[in-house]
Structure 1
Amino acid sequence: MKIRPSIVLFGDSITEQSFRYGGWGASLTDTYSRKADIVVRGYGGYTTRWALFLLHHIFPLSSTTPPVAATVFLGANDAALPGRTSERQHVPLEEYKENLRKIVRHLKNAQKNVCGSTNIVWPLLTRDKNDLFQHKTVLTCYPAMKIPERTNEVTGDYANGCVEVATEFGVSSINLWSRMQETQGWQKKFLSDGLHLTPDGNKVVFEEVIKVFNGAWLSAPDMPYDFPQYSDIDPHNPEKAFRERCL
């Protein structure tokens, strides 16, 4: 018997780093303590093109216990500009959208094989904004010209593409590109190096993900504990509480 459901965080370095101190994944783990297992599957530098090769390993269609939710946070590397140092990561916008479609179809099929497609949540997270002239990689590769590897305008196109795919499939989306622009001075407040998240940036991601989960039957306070609370255990007959919970 599976005691806790799982929630998988699937993405690139922003997901890989999400379990660091103050990270959005770490905050989810704290929120769902004893309610659900938060599983990080983040791969630094990956694009949607490369992420496709991982789907059958992370979300096997043969699994009888698929995750109850999965965040898909990809696009930061797809949006790298051609003709620059990170050109090998560039994925054209239309291919990016088609790759997202393939990811969502796979997730739906993985869930459908068990219990239909109604009990799972897949927020597609759009890319956060970029402050590229602050980015260390840019300043290292182009110290004089400061040529950006990515731009906010292009990143916005990918963010909109992600929202389009989410709408097409009827799944949730979180537009961080727009969300972060609502705050004055977002560059220094939310981004540590022009690309990755500060503690404040991680907090924004966490809050937006929790909003989606709370609106889709995954509110942590309403979920059962994996095993009885200590206050429910009769010291004279402890077996009773565990027997009732595990039946």
Structure 2
Amino acid sequence: MRPQIVLFGDSITEQSFRYGGWGASLTNTYSRKADIVVRGYGGYTTRWALFLLHHIFPLGSTTRPIATTVFLGANDAALPGRTSERQHVPLEEYKENLKKIVRHLKECSPTMLIVLITPPPIDEEGRLKFAKSVYKEKAMKLPERTNEVTGTYAKECVEIAKELGVHSVNLWSKMQETQGWQKKFLSDGLHLTPAGNKVVYEEVVKVFNGAWLSAPDMPSDFPHHSEIDPQNPEKVFEQRCL
């Protein structure tokens, strides 16, 4: 069986197989090398994600992922007293939830490559514009997320990764290295454009390649067609697959 790479997260992961999505790009890169399994849940926080762990990553499973990305925090960082306050998770709880997720994954498989991805930066103007398009005159005057607060969650995500000895992608910082990132990388102030998805894809692949999960170095699951002798096709399958 092909090994599995699981993408675990919120809507940014759920949407990763859309046109230009980072999950779709990973599938292309790891074609015939590994199956990319998307487990993204729009609107979810780390608090709610904890209820999914034993279902998605059962401890007794014999088919454990070789790698998992954990992309949560954008919803946790929603501000209390504003439109998305039901999703707000206090920073200290967010940190503890991330630790619980990582510890469960390590218990599931001590050899699993774990990558924590920080929430992306927030374009507050873009969020306000999006809110007005949805709620019209009922839209709040203040954005439900701010880039500064989201940055504190991103910082802690990176610190948790260091503390627990796993990898991380600081998407919040990386995207802001590019001038005009607000419109270039974000479609509604939060979710990703194809260019934003490309940043996630490139950063995740960089981590994979720097670890032990470089696609070119992984074996294909069955022989390449050029290896098949049309007069004796079973030979290569006997050598490679038995």
| Residue number among 84, 104, 129 corresponding to 2:121 in the alignment | 129
Q: In the alignment, which residue of structure 2 is the partner of 1:154? A: 149
Map 1:112-123 onto structure 2 (within 5 A): 117=110, 119-123=111-115
| Structure 1, unpaired ranges of 5+ | 112-116
Which residue number in structure 2 is paired with residue 184 of structure 1? 179
Whether the 8 Å contact between 1:138 and 1:146 is mirrored in structure 2 is no
Aligned runs of 1:1-247 on 2, under 5 Å?
Answer: 3-111=1-109, 117=110, 119-135=111-127, 136-139=129-132, 140-141=134-135, 143=137, 146-247=141-242
Q: For residue 138 of structure 1, what is the amino acid of its counterpart?
A: A
Q: Percent identity?
A: 77
Distance across 2 between alignment mates of 1:142 and 1:52: 34
Alignment-mate amino acid for residue 124 of structure 1: L
Structure 1: how far apart are the matches of 2:155 and 2:88?
Answer: 17
Indicate the SS of the match to 1:127. Answer: coil
Contact 2:105-2:112 within 8 A present in 1 as well: no
**CA deviation after TM superposition for structure 1 residue 150, in Å:** 0.4
TM-score between both structures, scaled by the size of structure 2: 0.96
Q: How many residues align?
A: 239
Query: What SS is found at the alignment partner of 1:123?
Result: strand
Q: Provide Cα deviations, 1:104-155, integer angstroms capped at 9, x if missing partner.
A: 00000000xxxxx2x3211100010001221254324475763110000000
Kindly report the root-mean-square deviation, in angstroms, between the aligned alpha carbons of the 2 structures: 1.2
For 2:118, give the aligned amino acid: T
Structure 2: which 5+ runs fail to align?
none
Cα distance in 2 for residues equivalent to 1:120 and 1:164? 19
Question: What secondary structure does 2:7 align onto?
Answer: strand
